[in-house]
Amino acid sequence: MTEKPLLIYALHSGNLYGTERMALATASGLVGEFDIVMMAPDGPALAESRRLGFSAVPFANAKEFGLRLWKLLGQDRPVAFLATGVMHSSVCLALNLIRRRRISHLHLVHGGAEEALSYGRKKKLNGWPVRFVAVSQYVRERLIANGAAERQISVIENFLTDDRVQGAPQRAAYSGSGVPKLIVISRLDPEKRVDLLLDALDRTPALRKFSIHVFGKGWCERELVERAAKSGHDIQFCGFEPDIAGRIAASDLLVHLCPVEPFGLAILEAMAANIPVLVPNSGGAGSLVADGVSGFHFEANNANALAARILEINSMTGDRLNQVVRVAGESLRTRFSEKQRVADYRSLIEESYQ
């Protein structure tokens, strides 16, 4: 019996955030066609890999990564190599100069706040047999702006798995009572601009009737909590929440604030929960919704515009909100479909073999 090709997915983090969750979802969609090996620093990502039945290979540094990848490349079969770090791709390219395996090499770019680290370093892979996979058009634009070879870039957007969509708790249909319960899901770092919501609360007394829950942790947590406490606003910083799907479904509107977000999986999770989203008109988050059709935009970095749009959405009829929710749900079944996006990866892997 002929062995399946290997799919080796190398992650730069052992955590279980958006990048790692998408890696596992993509690998799960391809499990029937490949033998899956997940490589990452030890942590929750590898624990989940083992739970899913994948081979899990930990590494602590570049030397360990190279030694373990060398051994994997010793198997005489084709390899689909997917990586999130430039080190991973560089090591694989160097080792395969010796191993000479038939490899399809994809380099996943999820983006981030630090341009040089998230995008600028990628140009080191220009001219090599590597295909960049940008998770949004915004990420593609940032790659090009930072010198990555445009001809090497494909865009495959993130998605929610069918299980997550079908199993998501859902909010009841709107009946015209406004959107009094707002939810924010974000790291509390400067570029995420959670402070913009506090600016809006300071400037617009009418917003103080809303109940706001913020889920996430980060560098700015203490500063934001102290500022909110002094202002007396009804905004609660709740930290990490394992049952975030339930929290979303218990809310009325997801507010996303980062103007340079590469994608924004929480936006898709809100769509699955049947609540509308309000996002900046920039970055990857802005590209995920059509304003007034599948969600709502506000002018990025503008606290007054944010406040005005929240109040406008709050005044909409239940029918209007339900219509937006329905269109967003259709986006989940088409544009952000697990089946279609995994098919994109399958096609790109096949056409990228060297």
Please indicate, yes or no, whether residues 197 and 299 belong to a single structural domain of this protein.
yes
Kindly tell me if the per-residue pLDDT of 1 is higher than 60.
no
Kindly tell me if the per-residue pLDDT of 89 is higher than 70.
yes
Please indicate, yes or no, whether residues 201 and 308 belong to a single structural domain of this protein.
yes
Orientation angle between helical segments 338-351 and 18-29, nearest 10 degrees: 80
Residue 114 forms part of a structural domain = yes
What is the mean pLDDT of the segment spanning 320-341?
96
**For residue 308, what pLDDT is reported?**
98
CATH code assigned at 242? 3.40.50.2000
The pair phi, psi for residue 183, each rounded to 5°, is -130, 140
DSSP symbol at 81: E
* Distances from the Cα of 71 to the Cα of 19, 67, 133, 156, angstroms: 25, 6, 26, 30
**For residue 265, what pLDDT is reported?**
92
Please indicate, yes or no, whether residues 212 and 293 belong to a single structural domain of this protein.
yes
Please indicate, yes or no, whether residues 101 and 155 belong to a single structural domain of this protein.
yes
- 23 contacts 48 by C-beta, under 8 angstroms: no
Burial of 187 (0-12, 13-18, 19+ CB in 10 A): middle
Structurally, the chain folds into a number of domains equal to 2
What is the mean pLDDT of the segment spanning 24-31?
95
**For residue 171, what pLDDT is reported?**
96
Nearest of 136, 135, 143 to residue 119 by alpha carbon:
143
Burial of 230 (0-12, 13-18, 19+ CB in 10 A): exposed
- 40 contacts 46 by C-beta, under 8 angstroms: yes
DSSP symbol at 159: -
Orientation angle between helical segments 195-203 and 221-231, nearest 10 degrees: 10
* Distances from the Cα of 166 to the Cα of 266, 271, 329, 333, 338, angstroms: 16, 12, 11, 11, 12
Longest dimension (CA), the chain: 70
Nearest of 215, 224, 216, 133 to residue 182 by alpha carbon:
215
Banded model confidence at residue 2, pLDDT cuts 50, 70, 90: low
For the chain, where are the E strands, in sequence order?
A: 6-10, 35-40, 55-58, 79-83, 103-109, 131-134, 153-155, 181-185, 211-215, 235-239, 253-255, 277-280, 296-298
Kindly tell me if the per-residue pLDDT of 334 is higher than 90.
yes
DSSP string, 5-26: PEEEEE-S--S-SHHHHHHHHH
Residue 1 forms part of a structural domain = no
Please indicate, yes or no, whether residues 39 and 146 belong to a single structural domain of this protein.
yes
pLDDT tens-digit map of 29-72: 999 899 999 999 999 999 999 999 999 999 999 999 999 999 99
Please indicate, yes or no, whether residues 88 and 123 belong to a single structural domain of this protein.
yes
The CA distance from 166 to 307, in Å, is: 33
Please indicate, yes or no, whether residues 142 and 91 belong to a single structural domain of this protein.
yes
pLDDT tens-digit map of 258-306: 999 999 999 999 999 999 999 999 999 999 999 999 999 999 999 999 9
Please indicate, yes or no, whether residues 293 and 343 belong to a single structural domain of this protein.
no
pLDDT tens-digit map of 92-148: 999 999 999 999 999 999 988 788 888 999 999 999 999 999 999 999 999 999 999
Kindly tell me if the per-residue pLDDT of 354 is higher than 90.
no
Q: How many CB atoms neighbour CB 256 within 10 A? A: 27
Please indicate, yes or no, whether residues 65 and 173 belong to a single structural domain of this protein.
no
pLDDT tens-digit map of 144-202: 999 999 999 999 999 999 999 999 999 999 997 899 999 999 999 999 999 999 999 99
Residue 265 forms part of a structural domain = yes
Q: Give the domain range for residue 190.
A: 163-333
Helix, strand, or coil (residue 243): coil
- 10 contacts 83 by C-beta, under 8 angstroms: yes
- 181 contacts 210 by C-beta, under 8 angstroms: yes
